[in-house]
Amino acid sequence: MVKTSRKGSWYEIVVPEEWTSFTLDQLLRHIWKAPKKMIHSLRMDQKVLVNGQSPEWNKLFTRGDKLQLRLFEEEESSAVPAYHPIDVLFEDDHLLILNKPAGMDTHPNEPGQTNTLANAAAFHIQSSGETLNVRHVHRLDRDTTGAVLFSKTALAGAILDRMLEERQIKRTYLAITDGLIKKKKGKIIKPIGRDRHHSVRRRVSPTGQKAVTNYEVTRLMREEKKTLVRCSLETGRTHQIRVHFSDMGHPLSGDTLYGGSSSYGRQALHAVKIELFHPFTGEALSCHAPFKDNPEIFHNIDLSTI
């Protein structure tokens, strides 16, 4: 794991042996794949140093070099800080993972909105004495619960966005469907587009965007005539899991928008785990999100086995 430390507004990385085959320019452009505009800004504003000096961008790193990046500068939050109780699953200088409750949007959808998870994240950062712009890396539907990843700096956010696009961030979901699914595991590959008859709904459509959902039956709930399934996504389309299972003839329980029963007060969908390698240190991170529903929706599940 790469050795790092924070010193005020600067982030210091001790260059490991495996970095000695590339340059600072290659690190930013080809390893981290930071946006060109961001790299230009770091360079022009002298926010990158090596051993305390202006760097030679095309010189190979030497093991033990101290790479310093000015990442932690004051920046106004794009979401209005507003207090809401939150469940922090992981936090360091760069990342924040929160456990989203039901009935809360991930981010504001209109100016001045203050009742979202992003508002709560901004307040959390502010209350720790920092002025940083926390950014959501992905989102969950209003009534879907579980792990949501935020970045705390612009560079971390850019790297995480790229990791998400390249499927280097794995998100695992648990869902309860209506009916008993006979096939134990499968891959649903059906494009999803807007439903022109409904402003909110999505539907399987040959002209839609590619959407791939992997699923595995975890438990057949025979008495309730329901199925507990574990899902992972290869794409991140709006309402993807909900649309795919509805199209299968097994809508999520509680998901009345897509034909599900009214068994629960919301769709039975929970983002139970998120896994990734830390964008700077390379540390393997794995966070489980405990269930928060009252009354419970998901019963007798050992999160450590997922």
The conformational region for residue 29 under phi > 0 = left, psi -120 to 50 = alpha, else beta, is alpha
d(CA 211, CA 188): 8
User: Coil, strand or helix: which one is 235?
Assistant: coil
d(CA 186, CA 234): 13
User: Contact, 103 vs 115, CB < 8 A?
Assistant: no
Catalytic residue among 141, 143, 178, 255: 141
User: Contact, 252 vs 242, CB < 8 A?
Assistant: yes
Four-CA torsion 255, 256, 258, 264, nearest 10 degrees: 20
Angle between helices 36-44 and 154-165 (to 10 degrees): 160
d(CA 277, CA 9): 23
* DSSP letter string, 69-128: EE-------SS--------EEEE-SSEEEEEEPTT--SS-SSTT--SSHHHHHHHHHHHT
d(CA 298, CA 306): 13
Tell me the CB-side half-sphere exposure of residue 231, using CA atoms within 13 A: 26
- Residue 291's CB is within 10 A of a number of other CB atoms, namely 17
Annotated catalytic residue 161: no
Catalytic residues: 141
